[in-house]
Amino acid sequence: MKSLSGIPASSGIAIAKAFVFLDDDEPIIPRYSIGATELAAEWERFMVALERAREDIVALRDRALREMGEEHSAIFDAHLMMLEDIDLMENIEASLNDSLLNIEWVLHQYSMSVVKQLESLSDPHFQERSADVHDITHRILNHLMFRERFSLADLPDDVVLVAYNLLPSDMISMNRQRVKGIVMDAGGKTSHTAILARAFEIPAVLGLAGSVRSIRNGEMVVVNGQSGQVIIEPDTDTLVRYENVRASLLARNSDLAAFAKMPALTKDGQAVILKANIEVPEETESVLRHGAHGIGLFRSEFLFLQPGRAPSEEDQFSAYQRVLTAMEGKPVTIRTLDVGGDKVVPDMAMAAEKNPLLGWRAIRYCLSDTEMFQNQLRAILRASVYGDARIMFPMISGPDELDAALHALAKAKSDCRKLGQSFREDIPVGIMIEIPSAALIADLLAPKVDFFSIGTNDLIQYTIAVDRGNERVAYLHEPFHPAVLRLIQKVIADGHAAGISVSMCGEMASDPAAAVVLLGLGLDEYSMSAASVPLIKRVLGAVSLAEARSIAEAVMKMPSHSHIDTYLRGRLDSLEIQE
């Protein structure tokens, strides 16, 4: 039995035999000399293979469009753009003419140089674009060399898919009923593989150095998408334990499915609003299936993660329109672009910074890139006539920043009017409270907006001064730190004093113990992963509003998170509230 640790990219437990998908990352490429008289014929071979590769990609794009929508099909639009790149064609033709070597070798050498340049960059998003170059090059080489590429659509058995890297076309075309889990050497939480694995609800662990060397075809593999642990050939006790965990998760999900169809009510009949967070439009089906009241956070960053170019106003309008239409009148809160820090987006001129988490990010970046910001605001406004849309600005630190964002929105409205474009004039506008300075002056910010949404992931990080991505100090990222709870209490009180609603869209909203405390503190709305909604419905349905207030009152008097943790475990057990 061996154990590997990587990046937990998509939650869940998978147990199946490994299928190691090598796909000839380093195929044997022929190398031979050609004469000057053969150049035209060699170039013609390349153009024929290029056209066949284009036909492959168009077919994949059309399938992605039918099954998943424009955001995922845009991956292949970018591939088509690369095939039409004039510089690419000129460089390959020049290399062919200069070297007088066969076109397979010329193409291979050129692509390897591009991949090497991308992988040498510090930005992980540019590193991940090397997968797109691999995809296109292999496709052309396959046609040049008459090689048949194994299709993951043809998997005959249930497997844990193990690969050095998975190309976007692999993820789109694979048999998703057979792929129970994914283990990959490359990739991170923002890679195409991670985003698509979450959309497909396939447990995945990425960033595992050497997994393709450590795991053999047919070996039993356990994938723990929550912890990032991968166990190879587990012993009997370990296998039984994980089978029990998986069975418990499946049984719990089955039991919780009934709660998805029930109203969200406390034990004494008080209504609670539970919404879902999404990253891609395709998640709306999951939002509705799990019984959420709407979307409390649509992270628009995904639209900007596609290679090739930033999304146009029309691209964004189409995505927002699809989500609003699919939600059938339920509210959808669209957060404006939140990039920078640990979310660097390709094709954007984002400078390297010594301390990016405290730097040029989120609303600060948007206010500096006025054209991009206006495109996004107009797209949201135009889509607002298709449903109950709301706009939310991230990482507001004070009144001046908020005023600047509201001014930008006013300009976008004015431009829509001039162009005769319909939009909802009274579209609700809110802000994320995720910086201590904003929490401390929430009373000054509240009169300017229609709602607050507390982003605890960053609020905890900035309040306690702990990088949540640093494993050495991750233990300090504690939601029940008294300072964090006091800031949350103040934000709720200041919001209510100004007559606006207060929600939470951070991970804390999906924690059962925290959900009870937040109910007692007066939180109006929760927003979480769609799969968490039924659980929180069940938890809040087991407690009365009076009990929640009593618990919150006791918690707010405690001196440390350890005291609070101990108290909550005991109190919730006494109320028979179980996760």
pLDDT on residue 346:
46
For the chain, how far is it from start to end, CA to CA, in angstroms?
30
pLDDT of residue 234: 94
pLDDT at 140 over 60: yes
Q: Indicate the pTM of the whole model.
A: 0.69
Amino acid found at 100 = L
Which tens digit of pLDDT belongs to each residue from 146-181? 655 567 877 888 999 998 888 766 777 788 889 999
**CA–CA distance from 50 to each of 80, 135, 136 (Å)?**
10, 13, 9
Amino acid letter for position 327: M
User: What is the mean pLDDT of the segment spanning 338-364?
Assistant: 65
The CATH code for residues 36-144 is 1.10.274.10
Residue 506: what are its φ and ψ, rounded to 5°? Answer: -80, 175
Residue-wise pLDDT for 375-386, tens only, equals 999 999 999 999
Res 25: pLDDT: 46
**C-alpha–C-alpha distance, residues 476 and 487, integer Å:** 17
Share of the chain above pLDDT 90, in %: 49
Per-residue pLDDT tens over the stretch 399-435: 999 999 999 999 999 999 999 999 999 999 999 999 9
Residue 345: which pLDDT band, with cuts at 50, 70 and 90?
Answer: low
- Which sequence spans correspond to the domains of the chain? 2-23+157-250, 36-144, 261-574
Q: Report yes or no: 195 and 216 within 8 Å, Cβ to Cβ.
A: no
pLDDT for res 221:
95
Rg over alpha carbons for the chain, rounded to the nearest Å, is 26
Mean pLDDT of the chain: 86
For residues 407 and 421, give the distance between their C-alpha atoms in angstroms, rounded to a whole number.
19
Q: What fold does the segment set 2-23+157-250 form as a domain? A: Glucose Oxidase; domain 1 (3.50.30)
| SS3 assignment, position 298 | strand
- Residue 309 to residue 15: CA distance in whole angstroms: 38
The pLDDT, as a whole number, for residue 125 is 58
Residue 480 CB burial class (10 angstroms; 0-12, 13-18, ≥19): buried
Q: Which residues pair with 454 in a beta bridge?
A: 433, 504
pLDDT, average across residues 54-62: 83
Task: List active site positions.
Answer: 192, 505
How far is residue 130's CA from residue 118's CA, in Å, rounded to a whole number? 6
Residue with the bigger pLDDT between 574 and 245: it is 245
In this predicted structure, the answer to whether residue 485 has a pLDDT above a threshold of 90 is: yes
pLDDT tens digits for 86-121? 888 888 899 999 999 989 889 888 888 887 877 776
DSSP 191: S
Q: 443: closest CA among 491, 396, 488, 395?
A: 491
What are phi and psi for residue 84, nearest 5 degrees? -95, 5
Q: What phi-psi label fits residue 100: left (phi over 0), alpha (psi between -120 and 50 degrees) or beta?
A: left
Write down the pLDDT at residue 189.
Answer: 66
Give the model's pLDDT for residue 579.
54
In this prediction, residue 397 carries a pLDDT of 96
CB under 8 Å to 20, separation ≥6 — which residues? 162, 163, 212, 215, 216, 217
Half-sphere exposure of 211 (CA within 13 A, CB side): 35
> Is the pLDDT at 347 greater than 70, yes or no?
no
Q: What is the pLDDT of residues 488-537, one digit of tens each?
A: 999 999 999 999 999 999 879 988 999 999 999 999 999 998 888 998 99
Element (DSSP H or E) covering residue 205: strand 204-206
CA distance 149 to 295: 40
Statement: residue 465 has pLDDT above 50: yes
What's the CATH code, domain 261-574?
A: 3.20.20.60
Question: What span, in angstroms and rounded, lies between the C-alpha atoms of 150 and 71?
Answer: 26
Give phi and psi for 427, each to the nearest 5.
-55, 125
In this predicted structure, what is the pLDDT of residue 309? 57
- Which residues have C-beta within 8 Å of that of residue 358, sequence separation ≥ 6? none
pLDDT digits (tens, 9 = 90+) for 168-220: 667 777 888 899 999 998 877 656 677 678 767 899 999 887 787 788 888 99
Q: What is the pLDDT of residue 77?
A: 78
The neighbouring-strand residues paired with 205 are 8, 183
pLDDT value at residue 213? 79
